[in-house]
Amino acid sequence: MNEARYLALIGCVNRTILDVQLTGDFKIEKWPVEKFIELYCDLTTLPEVEAWIRLDNEWGYGIDGRSIYQLENVYVISKCLPEYPMPHFSKKMGENFLTNFQETDHIQSKVMLEVKDMLTKLRLFDDGSIAICYEAFYGYEDSHYEMYCAKEENLFCEKQVYKVKKKNIHIINEILQSGPIFTKHKYINFALDNFSESYRVAHPYLGFISLMMAMEAIFNDGKNELRNKVS
């Protein structure tokens, strides 16, 4: 594998997530947990026990009453990135340092924004603590994985499995194929950001406040003072 790849671990989901069809070349895949742990530990140089602890306590895979060590599979989003330039820290870049840095930053931002958009649509459609817990841009060089960029996020909210109902899958996939949910309107993006923030806070009361702020932003166009308040 010479080309770069993107990988995102999806937290708090079960096998029904495989019915979801993402946009573009993004794919949802079921990975054996050993495959993910091997990749994660190779990229981060952390011991396997750290990966198991994160899966159990922080990434939503230890919530079904079973021992985490009985876990067989995890669910990930993957995408090949043939257009991804050489990492900006590579010695082979020479005079192309700035150009490659700008290109990699642009591609990373674009990919993560697309995933954020799809995740927000899924959250708006149904209950559940679905989240992107780990993201990585990586390649395979000299018989080992090479990490270019990575990001982790813990699940602090109440962990509830996100389940895709068969009767809803058609409309879910239609919504995912529609245009971006984030728009040029700042007040709408502010509302969506507050909605997403409700998944990150540890206390349910703070999550509720984030949702209230999201609703108030939706009902106001952002041009003047608040015209509507939620109570």
Residue 228, pLDDT score: 55
Reported as a single tens digit per residue, the pLDDT across 189-213 is 888 888 888 887 777 778 888 888 8
How is the chain split into domains, by residue range? 4-180, 182-230
75 within 8 A of 10, measured Cβ to Cβ: yes
Contact 227, 219 (CB under 8 A): yes
Give the pLDDT score at 89: 47
Q: Contact, 213 vs 194, CB < 8 A?
A: yes
Query: Could you give phi then psi for residue 144, rounded to 5 degrees?
Result: -150, 160
pLDDT of residue 92: 53
- pLDDT for 3-14, tens place per residue? 799 999 999 999
Tell me what the mean pLDDT of segment 106-131 comes to.
Answer: 91
Give the closest residue to 112 by CA, choosing from 218, 217, 227, 7. 7
The pLDDT, as a whole number, for residue 94 is 53
163 phi, psi to nearest 5 deg: -120, 130
Q: pTM, whole model, 2 decimals?
A: 0.84
Please give the full DSSP string across 87-154, using - where no structure is assigned: -TT-GGGGGGHHHHHHHHHHHHHHHHHHHHHHHHHHHHHS-S--EEEEEEEEEEETTEEEEEEEEE--
Q: Is the pLDDT of residue 27 over 80?
A: yes
Residue 16 in this model has a pLDDT that exceeds 90: yes
